[in-house]
Amino acid sequence: MTTFIVRRLLQLPIVLLAISLLIFGMMQFLSPEQRAATYAKTEQQAKNLDLIIRQYNLDKGFVVQYTTWLKAVLRGDLGYSKQSHEPVLDTIRKKLPVSAELALYMFFPTLLFGVWMGTMAAIHRDRFVDQAVRVFAIVGWSLPTFVLAIWMLAVFYGYLKLFGIGRADDSIMVEFAKGTLKAYTGMITIDGILNGRWDVTYSALKRLVMPVATYTIVASAQIMRVLRSSMLDVLNSDYVRTARAKGLPERAVNLKHARRNAIIPVVTIAGLMFAFMLEGVFFIEIIFNIPGLGQWAVPAAIQLDFPAVIGIALLTGLVVSVANLAVDILYGIIDPRISFQ
């Protein structure tokens, strides 16, 4: 198993290299001036694009340009983001905890809700519960994240005034800015506890309700669908019939015998969901005004803030690859029949 993990880890840099090549290649559709503008750090530099073109070899061939860029990256210099007015790596370091916190709170409710719905649907196959769950799932799946987020915003924030937007109450954000509250992890719900201030955690959790609910409704459908169909397969198998025949209670058969084996495909989907979740996080951050990676990456991509775009692409590529690796390792733990080759 160790060799398997090591080999997969060795593949990682190759994937990242390929991602950077892909984005870099697409950037060649722009003129040298356009590309140079994306490197400019100040007003002054933006006027002297020739200098930048020469500095980054932007008028040379693709290979020269790419190696120039790659050398800088290997030195740990991902470039300067015009969008955030600071080096890309600094921005990522600052904003990653915000998005990671959001993603973690989104991931588990979605997974659990999906698994619960899938189980219910499979057990009550073709009856009312099954139909209701399937309709709910397909409606949720059909809503673009930003559309549901807007509906939530209009009803729960605008009309009912139940939940706020942003990360926490303004007074709390001011305390973080002043330093009376220390940002140990950058994740407010955890920092609140570390500072011994439950009101901070509560305020942050309350503001997570709308984003998490939005995402759960949109994304749990996939989990539900996969679990339902794999559970139906398992429920038809011989050993489930045997378990029933020897008089086990229905609940034990469903949850212990059937679901435990049906959950394996869900692990795959959960890994894929992790990748899909990044874009969910991005758009949810934009609409609910949460200053995470999305609020930086989306405008950056639109403005062609080239260093930021490659930085984001590499980061997401890394997250997706690691998620896939985690899925493969989890397989072995959940299902001992799978061996690592």
Partner 1 sequence: MSSPDRDAPGRERWYESKRFRRFRRNPLAWAGVVILLFFAGLAVLAPALTADRLPRGCLRDLGLVRSEARTALRTPANPAFWRATFAPPASCYKIPRVSYSPVPKPPRAKYPLGIASGGYDIYYGIVWGARTSFYIGVLVVGIVLVIATVVGGLAGLFGGWLDNLLMRLVDVVYSIPGLVLAMVFASIFGRGLIKTMIAIALVAWPIYARMLRGNILQVKAQDYISAAHAVGAGHLRLFFKHILPNAIGPMIILASLDIGAIVITASTLAFLGLGADVGYADWGQMISFARSWISNPGGEPLKYWFVWFWPSMAIALFVLGWNLLGDAVRDALDPRSR
Interaction of residue 165 with partner 1, rule CB under 8 A? yes
> Which residues is 87 bridged to in the sheet?
80
- Residue 185's identity, in one-letter code, is T
Tokens of 320: 């997706």
> Which residues is 81 bridged to in the sheet?
86
- Which of 83, 84, 99, 145 lies at the binding interface for partner 1 (CB under 8 A)? 145
Interaction of residue 26 with partner 1, rule CB under 8 A? yes
Residues 56, 159: Cα–Cα separation, whole Å: 52
Residues 224, 226: Cα–Cα separation, whole Å: 6
Interaction of residue 39 with partner 1, rule CB under 8 A? no
Region near partner 1 per CB under 8 A, out of 101-109, 111-119, 148-156, 182-190: 148-156
Window 204-233: residues binding partner 1 (CB under 8 A): 229, 232-233
- In the bound complex, what is the minimum distance in angstroms from residue 192's beta carbon to partner 1? 26
- In the bound complex, what is the minimum distance in angstroms from residue 76's beta carbon to partner 1? 22
Interaction of residue 116 with partner 1, rule CB under 8 A? no
- In the bound complex, what is the minimum distance in angstroms from residue 324's beta carbon to partner 1? 8
Interaction of residue 151 with partner 1, rule CB under 8 A? yes
Region near partner 1 per CB under 8 A, out of 80-88, 100-108, 203-211, 295-303: 295-303
User: In the chain, how many H helices and how many E strands?
Assistant: 17, 2
Interaction of residue 202 with partner 1, rule CB under 8 A? no
Interaction of residue 162 with partner 1, rule CB under 8 A? no
Q: Are 247 and 173 in contact (CB under 8 A)?
A: no
Interaction of residue 320 with partner 1, rule CB under 8 A? yes
Q: Are 65 and 58 in contact (CB under 8 A)?
A: yes
φ/ψ (deg, to 5) at 81? -90, 120
Q: Is 171 helix (H, G, I), strand (E, B) or coil?
A: helix
- Which of 200, 253, 309, 331 lies at the binding interface for partner 1 (CB under 8 A)? 309
- Which of 5, 6, 9, 22 lies at the binding interface for partner 1 (CB under 8 A)? 22
* Beta strands 86-87 and 80-81, pairing class: antiparallel
Q: Are 156 and 162 in contact (CB under 8 A)?
A: yes
- Which of 142, 180, 237, 242 lies at the binding interface for partner 1 (CB under 8 A)? 142
Residues 96, 292: Cα–Cα separation, whole Å: 7
Interaction of residue 9 with partner 1, rule CB under 8 A? no
The candidate with the shortest Cα–Cα distance to 220, out of 120, 113, 144, 105, is: 113
Window 233-272: residues binding partner 1 (CB under 8 A): 233
Interaction of residue 147 with partner 1, rule CB under 8 A? yes
- Which of 124, 134, 206, 244 lies at the binding interface for partner 1 (CB under 8 A)? 134
Contacts 24+ apart (CB under 8 A), 177-186: 185/97, 186/94, 186/96, 186/97, 186/98, 186/101
Quick one: 34 or 185, whose CB is closer to partner 1?
Answer: 34
- Which of 43, 74, 75, 158 lies at the binding interface for partner 1 (CB under 8 A)? 158
Angle at 262 between CA 259 and CA 268, to 5 degrees: 130
Q: Are 165 and 289 in contact (CB under 8 A)?
A: yes
- In the bound complex, what is the minimum distance in angstroms from residue 178's beta carbon to partner 1? 28
Binding site for partner 1 (CB under 8 A): 15, 18-19, 22-23, 26-27, 29-30, 134-135, 138-139, 141-147, 150-151, 153-155, 157-159, 161, 165, 229, 232-233, 275-276, 278-279, 282-283, 297-298, 301-304, 309, 312-313, 316-317, 320-321
